[in-house]
Amino acid sequence: MRTRFRLLPPLLMAAALVAACGQSGSSGSGGGTASGSAASGSSCAPVAGDQLVVLQDDKHLQNADNVVPLVYAPTAQQNPALMPALNAISAKLTTDDLIKMNADVDINRKSATDVASSWVDSSKVTDGLQKGTGNVIVGGANFTESTILANIYADVLKSAGFNASVQAVGSRMNGACEPPPAFLAAGSP
């Protein structure tokens, strides 16, 4: 019981501080004018120039939607043509491409395999790839974007000489611990 009374004053103070700056426009969004009440003091006024901005990746360090294929290290070492093929995809794939491909499948009702194949052909991602051999299984979770990506990886690897196949690995796990969008593993398809 005493613990409850010790926690109550700090919680009430925190609630009062948060509520004090809750007026429309206090976030700097310009969503209204201050009403002149006690809750809109100078400490809550928007600061000139404080706006959210979209950061540009001028060094090109981020892949589209952070898509990163996972490859078992010994597989990559045994197949020197594998990583250059995957890197070629990462260099060409954009967020706009993913958005369009998702829409083609979900809205325009095209198949994920056809959409992936079309992107591989139109992006010319397979031009100049090193040739490799061996079996590669590309796994993807059971949702549109992952299925498209898995098929893109498989198509590019096939063009590079690999015997690549796609295997569905299920859906997201309750949002708590999501599987990667696609993975690559050596083995028999």
pLDDT digits (tens, 9 = 90+) for 88-111: 999 999 888 999 999 999 999 999
Q: What angle do CA 74, 184, 97 make, to 5 degrees?
A: 135
Mean pLDDT of 143-147: 91
Which range is most confident: 1-10, 115-124, 171-180?
Answer: 115-124
Distance CA 4, CA 127 (A): 68
Mean pLDDT of 57-81: 78
Q: Is the pLDDT of residue 181 over 80?
A: no
Quick: pLDDT tens for 152-180.
999 999 999 999 999 988 765 544 444 44
CB neighbours (10 Å) of residue 115? 22
Q: Is the pLDDT of residue 151 over 80?
A: yes
3-class secondary-structure state, position 108: coil
Q: What integer pLDDT is reported at residue 73 of this predicted model?
A: 85
Mean pLDDT of 145-152: 94
CB neighbours (10 Å) of residue 116? 24
What separation in angstroms does the CA of 8 have from each of 4, 11, 19, 140? 6, 5, 16, 49
Q: What integer pLDDT is reported at residue 74 of this predicted model?
A: 87
Q: What integer pLDDT is reported at residue 37 of this predicted model?
A: 44
Q: What integer pLDDT is reported at residue 30 of this predicted model?
A: 43
Q: What integer pLDDT is reported at residue 50 of this predicted model?
A: 61
pTM assigned to the model: 0.60
Q: How many residues does the chain have?
A: 189
Percent of the chain beyond pLDDT 70?
Answer: 56
54 versus 109: the higher-pLDDT residue is 109
Q: What are phi and psi of 132, to 5 degrees?
A: -130, 175
152 versus 24: the higher-pLDDT residue is 152
